Amino acid sequence: MPSPGRRLLTLWRRLSPLPGGQWLFAQIFSWTVPYSGSVGPRVRLLEPGHARVEIPDRRSNRQHLGSVHAIALMNVAEMASGLAMLAGLPDGVRGIVVSISIEYHKKARGTITAVSRVTVPTVTTDTDFDVVSECLDRENNVVARATVRWRLGPDKPRGAKPSAT
């Protein structure tokens, strides 16, 4: 069975060229990952090791001062890192976020695009791996930079107990 990232990539490749396909992909993604869907993501590019995800400038993504909320930025940064990482993982390898750190560089206004590029490592045992996502405004200024630490490892059969090592 293909990995979740491969299934997402296959769905993206099937839908994105169609009229309304990117919108439909975003709806499916948002239904599958409801919290991430709360910021209204629009995937603009998805390929193994590279993702671009936008969030719109809308009231529900802003804080009380009128700029995009810090956690909305973290959400889209994590999403871009995950899509880039997971789409590049071979079958039989899984990943989960274990930590996120983010630096905010300036007020985020307007549509924000998170961009992540990663060279997926060869994974034979559980490995922690950092992926960087940059959040850009309309003028391509970096408004935030996140480092997302992923724990990658071989798939474990359902119900398997973790090893004692």
Distance CA 44, CA 65 (A): 28
Provide the percentage of residues in the chain whose pLDDT is more than 70: 93
Distance CA 4, CA 27 (A): 17
Confirm if 41 and 30 have CB atoms less than 8 A apart. Answer: yes
pLDDT of residue 63: 82
Distance CA 14, CA 55 (A): 22
Indicate whether 162 pLDDT > 80. Answer: no
pLDDT of residue 3: 75
Q: What is the pLDDT of residues 121-134, one digit of tens each?
A: 888 899 999 999 99
- Strand order, beta sheet including 50-55: 42-47, 50-55, 112-117, 127-136, 142-154, 93-104
pLDDT of residue 157: 67
> Does CATH number 3.10.129.10 belong to domain 4-154?
yes
For residues 32-55, average pLDDT? 90
pLDDT tier at 58, thresholds 50, 70, 90: confident
Average predicted confidence (pLDDT) for the chain: 89
For residue 84, with 0-12 CB atoms within 10 Å meaning exposed, 13-18 middle and 19 or more buried, which class applies? buried
Q: What is the pLDDT of residues 61-108, one digit of tens each?
A: 788 888 888 898 999 999 999 999 999 988 888 889 999 999 999 988
Distance CA 90, CA 153 (A): 11
- Give 60 or 151, the one with higher predicted confidence: 151
- Give 158 or 6, the one with higher predicted confidence: 6
Indicate whether 12 pLDDT > 90. Answer: yes
Query: What is this structure's pTM?
Result: 0.87
Q: Where are the domains of the chain?
A: 4-154
